[in-house]
Amino acid sequence: MEIPDLPSWPTTVREAEAVQDRLRSCVDLTSPGPESVRTVAGLDVAYAEDRLAAAVVVLDVDRLEVVEEIVVRDRPSFPYVPGLFAFRELPALIEGLRRLSVTPDLLICDGHGLAHPKRFGLACHLGVLTGLPAIGVGKTRLVGAYDEPGADRGSWSNVTDGDEVVGRALRTQTGVRPIFVSVGHLTDLETACEVTLRLTPRYRLPESTRRADRLSRRALAAS
DNA sequence: GCGACAG
DNA sequence: ATCTTGTCGC
């Protein structure tokens, strides 16, 4: 798919925060989201020393079968700093999306969207840069407070930061810890959770994320 | 000053 | 994220 070239990449925390402040106004949470989500792209990155492998796996949501997969080798573009995580792996993920021959209906990011201190997590950033609907699915909380969801699969509770609902803690399997779903771009929280549940028929994490995780690790090991 | 802190 | 052994549970 077509994605504009990335601008010069920030080097310091100060510069990265300036980019977030400038781009967060581009997040669209009011336009209607995808009419129907038939395909999703799972994105994940594996690291080793100073190398990384980014994987993009497009899945057919109904059949949970792989439609296309891409791997990109690169080097971290930024150190890991809570809140600035996107600057670390975004370049490699964008390149992976560029090489895709199909355009997924929704991006499933390994991290958060609005559930971010500045309301501009990886899912928002990726959504704005690609113009595609995007959501964030994290394994642990970054910001906000939440009550423990009910014990059954499908149970959820809102994650709130101050008086804002920034996401949901969603129990995707009975007996496992909840995952954290938040909106990134051109999607609503309801849809985000519905799709996430469709992608977790058997495991805690979305099948898209699991596939991308396996692929990125395999590619890194084989390099 | 003391924690908390996506991956 | 990654480093790591055994261990509890289905």
Question: What mean pLDDT is predicted for residues A56-65?
Answer: 98
What CATH class is the domain A15-21+37-221?
alpha beta
- The SS3 of residue A207 is helix
Q: Which nucleotide is nearest to A88 (CA to C1')?
A: B7
- The SS3 of residue A98 is helix
Tell me the pLDDT of chain A averaged across its residues.
97
- The SS3 of residue A214 is helix
User: How high is the pLDDT of residue A164?
Assistant: 97
- The SS3 of residue A82 is coil
Please name the residue that has the structure tokens 């996401």. Answer: A167
Q: Which of residues 47-76 of A touch strand C (CB under 7 A)?
A: 47-48
H/E segment holding residue A16: helix A13-23
Domain ranges of chain A: 15-21+37-221
A181 CA to B6 C1' in angstroms comes to 12
- The SS3 of residue A1 is coil
Per-residue pLDDT tens digits for A125-170:
999 999 999 999 999 999 999 999 999 999 999 999 999 999 999 9
Nucleic acid strand C within 7 Å of A220 CB = yes
Query: Which of A107, A78, A98, A81 is CA-nearest to residue A1?
Result: A98
A208 CA to C1 C1' in angstroms comes to 19
Nucleic acid strand C within 7 Å of A205 CB = no
Residue A33: which pLDDT band, with cuts at 50, 70 and 90? confident
Q: Residue A32: pLDDT above 90?
A: no
Nucleic acid strand C within 7 Å of A110 CB = yes
What DSSP state is assigned to residue A144?
A: -
Per-residue pLDDT tens digits for A81-108:
999 999 999 999 999 999 999 999 999 9
Q: How far is Cα A67 from Cα A59, in angstroms, rounded to an integer?
A: 5
| Phi, psi values for residue A13, rounded to 5° | -60, -40
Q: Residue A223: pLDDT above 90?
A: no
Q: Which nucleotide is nearest to A121 (CA to C1')?
A: B6
* Token pair in block for residue A19: 């980019």
The rounded radius of gyration (Å) of the Cα atoms in chain A is 16
**First CA to last CA distance, chain A:** 26
Nucleotides of C under 7 A from a protein CB: 1-3
Per-residue pLDDT tens digits for A163-201:
999 999 999 999 999 999 999 999 999 999 999 999 999
